[in-house]
């Protein structure tokens, strides 16, 4: 029997084992686990007011996301910030793999005391993964983590989901890949607050990044920014040499300063909580429909109705009422 108060107290004290266990419950499909999580989160009355930073890191595989998270995370952690790293990876549900599963590029970060790294769940549709990640963010914050870095693989599916749970969205791009920039979907560009041309290892490499930067700038000029308080910026950096990383840190700090000062961050989080609620209702109802179809001889009844000559629209209407009744 789960004691929500005891678990909540352990979480607040920063117990990482309890944090891991809670995230596993959030990822679980079992109703008892979901109920446990609901009871624990119900005890949290912070209402999103903690001064945390939720930052999405996106980009195609190979652009250097893990290396970048390692570099940025270490910088923040060395300044005594508590840093959590989570991932949303829709492809993992297809491949059975997981980004961040191999933490070798984050070995340095992973070794630090004030850092928590959680690979993406390896099962579940994107909706389920998204719901679990939203909850995981809140759990990390209860446990005292101040910066939450959320890695998403840049294949187009997960970016919107991740931007619906973060304050700031960073997209990494290869500095010498003009084609990548042209191929970047407008939708993803519109979510992005900070574009980083990555693997610019030194001053000399900034020259090579010139054309990509120009191309990006002209694309940004015609975009509607994601936030009214922020015009998207372009930075150049290297996670392996550290070139440009001071600037990256400054940009992040400036973004959060403006976001809080203008109230944009608080407003955004409020909107996200409404969307979270809506998504959750859809998920719960969809789950109930699945359950209805796998139980109560529903499929047999549909077949019978069809044999009786009933129209699918009528059958569907009746079944919907049944789902509501069984709820």
- Rule CB under 6 A: which residues touch ligand GDP? 59, 61-67, 105, 198-199, 201, 238-240
Buried b (16+ CB within 10 A) or exposed e, 63-85: bbbbbbbbbbbbbbbeeeebbbb
Quote the least distance from Cβ 197 to ligand GDP, whole Å: 10
In 3D space, the residue among 154, 152, 172 whose CA is nearest the CA of residue 71 turns out to be 172
Quote the least distance from Cβ 28 to ligand GDP, whole Å: 27
- Based on CB atoms, which residue is closest to ligand GDP, 122 or 266? 122
Q: Which residue is nearest to ligand GDP (CB)?
A: 64
- Based on CB atoms, which residue is closest to ligand GDP, 82 or 198? 198
Quote the least distance from Cβ 266 to ligand GDP, whole Å: 31
Total residues belonging to the chain: 327
- Based on CB atoms, which residue is closest to ligand GDP, 53 or 105? 105
In 3D space, the residue among 223, 181, 219 whose CA is nearest the CA of residue 198 turns out to be 181
- Based on CB atoms, which residue is closest to ligand GDP, 233 or 241? 241
- Based on CB atoms, which residue is closest to ligand GDP, 24 or 176? 176
- Based on CB atoms, which residue is closest to ligand GDP, 64 or 90? 64
- Based on CB atoms, which residue is closest to ligand GDP, 103 or 301? 103
Quote the least distance from Cβ 165 to ligand GDP, whole Å: 20
Quote the least distance from Cβ 241 to ligand GDP, whole Å: 7
Quote the least distance from Cβ 188 to ligand GDP, whole Å: 15
Quote the least distance from Cβ 79 to ligand GDP, whole Å: 21
């Amino acid at each position: 029997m789960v004691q929500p108060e005891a678990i909540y107290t352990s979480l607040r004290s920063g117990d990482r084992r309890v944090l891991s266990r809670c995230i596993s419950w959030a990822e679980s499909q079992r109703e008892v686990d979901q109920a446990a999580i609901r009871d624990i989160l119900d005890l949290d009355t912070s209402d999103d007011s903690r001064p945390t930073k939720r930052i999405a890191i996106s980009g195609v595989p190979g652009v250097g996301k893990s290396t970048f998270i390692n570099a940025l995370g270490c910088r923040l952690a060395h300044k005594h910030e508590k840093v959590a790293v989570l991932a949303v990876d829709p492809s993992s549900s297809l491949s059975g793999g997981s980004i961040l599963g191999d933490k070798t590029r984050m070995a340095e970060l992973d070794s630090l005391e004030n850092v928590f790294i959680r690979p993406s769940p390896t099962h579940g549709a994107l909706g389920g993964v998204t719901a679990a990640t939203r909850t995981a963010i809140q759990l990390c914050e209860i446990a005292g983590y101040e910066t939450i870095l959320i890695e998403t693989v840049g294949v187009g599916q997960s970016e919107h989901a991740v931007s619906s749970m973060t304050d700031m969205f960073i997209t990494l791009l290869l500095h010498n890949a003009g084609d990548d920039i042209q191929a970047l979907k407008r939708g993803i560009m519109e979510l992005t607050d900070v574009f980083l041309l990555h693997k610019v290892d030194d001053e000399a490499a900034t020259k090579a990044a010139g054309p990509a930067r120009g191309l990006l700038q002209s694309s940004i000029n015609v975009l509607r920014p994601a936030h009214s308080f922020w015009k998207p910026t372009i930075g150049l950096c290297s996670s392996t040499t550290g070139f440009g990383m001071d600037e990256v840190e400054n940009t992040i700090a400036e973004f959060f300063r403006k976001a809080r000062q203008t109230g944009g961050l608080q407003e955004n989080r409020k909107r996200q909580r409404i969307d979270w609620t809506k998504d959750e209702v859809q998920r719960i109802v969809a789950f109930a429909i699945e359950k209805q179809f796998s139980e109560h001889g529903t499929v047999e009844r549909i077949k019978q109705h069809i044999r009786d000559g009933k129209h699918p629209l009528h059958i569907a209407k009746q079944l919907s009422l049944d789902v509501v009744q069984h709820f």
